[in-house]
Amino acid sequence: MAEPDDPLVINVVGRHKERENQDLQGEYHMIGMVHGRPAYRKPGTRTVIRYWPVADRWLIDREGVQESDICNAYAEQGGARHPAVEELVWRVWESQHRQHVRDPEFLVTAAPNTIQVLGRAAGKENWALNGEYKLIGLHQGKVAYQKAGKFKHAIRYWRVGDRWLIDLEGLRDVDICNAYADAQSTSYPGEIRLQWHIWDSTRQRHTLDSSLCTLVTPSVIEVVGRESPKENTAMNGSYHLVGLHAGQPAYMKTDGSGHAIRYWPREERWLIDLDGLRDTEICNAYAEAGGTGAHMHPGHLNLVWHVWETSRGRHLTDPAVRSFVAPHFVRVSGRDPYKENSTINGDYELVKIVEGKPAYKKADADHVIRFWPAEERWIIDLEAGFHGGDVANTFADAKGAENPGNSELLWYVWETSRGRHVPDEDVIADAVWLPPVDWSKVPGVSD
Residue 70's domain comprises 9-109
Asked if residue 4 is part of any domain, the answer here is no
Asked if residue 70 is part of any domain, the answer here is yes
Separation between Cα atoms, residue 131 and residue 65, nearest integer Å: 38
Q: Which of 197, 215, 233 is the last residue of a domain?
A: 215
pLDDT (0 to 100) of residue 2: 75
Grade residue 150 by pLDDT with cuts at 50, 70 and 90: confident
Assess whether pLDDT exceeds 90 at residue 122.
no
Asked if residue 444 is part of any domain, the answer here is no
pLDDT (0 to 100) of residue 129: 95
The region that residue 444 occupies, defined by phi over 0 for left and psi between -120 and 50 for alpha, beta otherwise, is: left
Asked if residue 413 is part of any domain, the answer here is yes
Q: Which of 79, 109, 139 is the last residue of a domain?
A: 109
Beta strand pairing status for 394-397 and 377-381? antiparallel
Q: In terms of domains, do 97 and 135 share one?
A: no
Q: Which of 215, 242, 257 is the last residue of a domain?
A: 215
DSSP H or E run through 221: strand 220-224
Separation between Cα atoms, residue 212 and residue 227, nearest integer Å: 38
Beta bridge partners of 439: none
Beta bridge partners of 191: none
Separation between Cα atoms, residue 423 and residue 407, nearest integer Å: 14
Asked if residue 258 is part of any domain, the answer here is yes
pTM over 0.75: yes
Q: In terms of domains, do 32 and 54 share one?
A: yes
Task: Return the minimum-mean-pLDDT range out of 77-86, 200-209, 301-310, 348-357.
Answer: 77-86
DSSP H or E run through 60: strand 57-61
Separation between Cα atoms, residue 415 and residue 74, nearest integer Å: 41
Amino acid in position 401: A
To the nearest whole number, what is the mean pLDDT of the chain? 95
pLDDT (0 to 100) of residue 211: 92
Beta bridge partners of 358: 353
Asked if residue 440 is part of any domain, the answer here is no
Q: In terms of domains, do 190 and 267 share one?
A: no
Q: Which of 76, 34, 26 is nearest to 51 (CA)?
A: 34
Asked if residue 178 is part of any domain, the answer here is yes
